[in-house]
Amino acid sequence: MNGAESLVRTLLAGGVDVCFANPGTSEMHFVAALDHVPGMRCVLGLFEGVVTGAADGYGRMAEKPASTLLHLGPGLGNGLANLHNAKKAASPIVNIVGEHASFHIKYDAPLTADIEGIARPVSHWVKTSPSSKTVAADGAAAIAAARAAPGQIATLILPADTAWNPADGIAQVPDVPARRKVAEDRVRNAADVLRGGEPALILMTGHVLVQKGLALAGAIGAKTGAKLMTQLSNKRLERGAGRVPVLRVPYVVAQALKVLEPFKHIILVGAKPPVSFFGYPDTPSEEHPPGCKLHRLAELDEDAIDALARVADLVGAKEKDAAVQQPKRPEMPTGAINLDSLAAALGAALPEGAIVVDESVTTGRGFFPLTAGAPPHDWLNNMGGSIGFGPPVATGAAIACPDRKVICLEGDGSAMYTIQALWTQARENLDVTTIVFANRGYQILKGELAAVGAGNPGRRALDMLEVDRPTIDFVAMGKSMGVPGTQVTDIDGFNKALAGAMRSQGPKLIEVVM
């Protein structure tokens, strides 16, 4: 058994049985090992941003890491933006990055780079394996690091000779430790605040956003009058009929300030203190009102569900009293395409069990209310803000959950960063419907230009914000990679295309001309 095989077998023993890959020469022994070690599903991406984003989507839905296979420093570099997003979301990922054979590094061949230096800003754990004898143990340590709550990015760098030289066998992966319990004083403090009767907000993100955690928060809200909200972006939010509904802190600072203005207390459950996405001239970064007190109930890696259960006990809240969302579909909209009609169309069509990967940027800011009463579904947001997140994450989510519909809400500007994901969706026949909202621009930047005080742009500035001239034909683009598609120009066309996509299996693309 060589090092590569010892690693593949260790990954499988540690429950890592999916590998999103874009390999090169230095990874060839790992690829060869796939042939004689059954059980690893290897999924090719034609660009590494697809690979790392898919691992993010997979980790969110499977609640365990996939591995990636990346080619030296530049291959890791191509995957960096989606690793940044995954790190901010605390997704579990085990990156395997090939390196030159250890004897070859000193020659500074073309692909030689500081791989650890590239890995560090987007990894919680980085190691270069020193020998084929240690690869298995290093792999086990990487899995353990990735699985540590709330989920981490572990990057294992594998010099080629550690893959081809002999190994000693596989390594044992330690059990995943339970989440840390929240200290009693923080639970009591939260309960005291909630019983105090002053306006309070429970602000959540992380593992709490499942049915159970939301029910507990809803019970506490029903009992104490506290409001519930999530961060703007969340790793995964269980929502829809039968679940406790929550809104998100808005993106636009003025709206966020307004929404948070009534509160005297914010209880942070996994969430960070609310801050604006960007800093602006003469605008505060912190979004909670002056005089509002922030109370930390649970850190992101702590057992927030247990903490909420203990708070519920202290305040005497019962889950059965939580206000859950009733099933409710908006009426099927007709007429023109606009943000409201799109929201209604989505709310009318969203199937049970759907996984919504939301990179709709400006278009989708108002999608929550009209989709709240749809059948139970999951909603995934970009937590790192680097666009090109949607199609790869949808790809990985579909690999993790082959029996569920994945709907990728995508801006046209964002889609172009990692459009190669469509090819992987076609190759693997994944049940992903990509909806491209084609407003022919980086629409968000027009607002941002004004928000930073640089408004009223001229032609040269506008040229940097618009992606028309030439207009991108997303249907032709999808077809060129094996994904059939439809362009729609009114909401009836959208309803029809969406219904068709929901009825059939396999990848589809809908280009919505805005």
Query: Can residue 114 be called a binding residue for a copy of itself (CB under 8 A)?
Result: yes
Nearer to a copy of itself, 4 or 156 (CB): 4
On whether the CB atoms of residues 41 and 69 are closer than 8 A, the answer is: no
Query: Can residue 383 be called a binding residue for a copy of itself (CB under 8 A)?
Result: yes
On whether the CB atoms of residues 368 and 247 are closer than 8 A, the answer is: yes
DSSP string, 143-192: HHHHHSTT--EEEEEEEHHHHHSB-----PPPPPPPPBPPPHHHHHHHHH
Q: Is 156 exposed, middle or buried (0-12, 13-18, 19+ CB in 10 A)?
A: buried
Which residue among 177, 195, 196, 285 contacts a copy of itself (CB under 8 A)? 285
Which residue among 63, 168, 473, 490 contacts a copy of itself (CB under 8 A)? 473
Least CB distance to a copy of itself at residue 411 (A) = 12
Which residue among 1, 113, 314, 332 contacts a copy of itself (CB under 8 A)? 113
On whether the CB atoms of residues 263 and 348 are closer than 8 A, the answer is: no
For residue 81, which of 361, 389, 362 has the smallest C-alpha distance? 389
Query: Can residue 1 be called a binding residue for a copy of itself (CB under 8 A)?
Result: no
CA angle, 348 then 354 then 357, to 5° = 100
**Subset of residues 432 to 451 that bind a copy of itself, contact rule: CB under 8 A:** 442, 444-445, 448-449, 451
Query: Can residue 234 be called a binding residue for a copy of itself (CB under 8 A)?
Result: no
For residue 323, which of 267, 373, 259 has the smallest C-alpha distance? 373
For residue 308, which of 244, 376, 264 has the smallest C-alpha distance? 244
Least CB distance to a copy of itself at residue 8 (A) = 11
Q: How far, in Å, CA of 269 to CA of 205, rounded?
A: 7
Q: Are strands 200-204 and 265-269 parallel, antiparallel or unpaired?
A: parallel
On whether the CB atoms of residues 108 and 146 are closer than 8 A, the answer is: no
Query: Can residue 319 be called a binding residue for a copy of itself (CB under 8 A)?
Result: no
Nearer to a copy of itself, 126 or 346 (CB): 126
Q: Judged by CB under 8 A, how many residues of this single chain contact a copy of itself? A: 104
**Subset of residues 75 to 94 that bind a copy of itself, contact rule: CB under 8 A:** 75, 77-78, 80-81, 84-85, 88
For residue 500, which of 327, 255, 509, 450 has the smallest C-alpha distance? 509
Least CB distance to a copy of itself at residue 97 (A) = 13
**Subset of residues 259 to 278 that bind a copy of itself, contact rule: CB under 8 A:** 272-273, 275-278
CA distances from 327 to 6, 76, 348, 372, 375 (A): 50, 44, 11, 8, 7
Which residue among 196, 452, 489, 500 contacts a copy of itself (CB under 8 A)? 452
Nearer to a copy of itself, 147 or 236 (CB): 236
Which residue among 12, 42, 324, 339 contacts a copy of itself (CB under 8 A)? 42
Least CB distance to a copy of itself at residue 254 (A) = 15
Q: Where are the alpha helices (DSSP H) in 65-107?
A: 72-78, 80-89
Query: Can residue 209 be called a binding residue for a copy of itself (CB under 8 A)?
Result: no
Which residue among 15, 117, 130, 166 contacts a copy of itself (CB under 8 A)? 117
Query: Can residue 294 be called a binding residue for a copy of itself (CB under 8 A)?
Result: no
Which residue among 247, 254, 323, 464 contacts a copy of itself (CB under 8 A)? 464
Q: Is the peptide bond before 273 cis (omega within 30 degrees of 0)?
A: no
Q: Which stretch binds a copy of itself (CB under 8 A): 9-17, 21-29, 255-263, 494-502?
A: 21-29
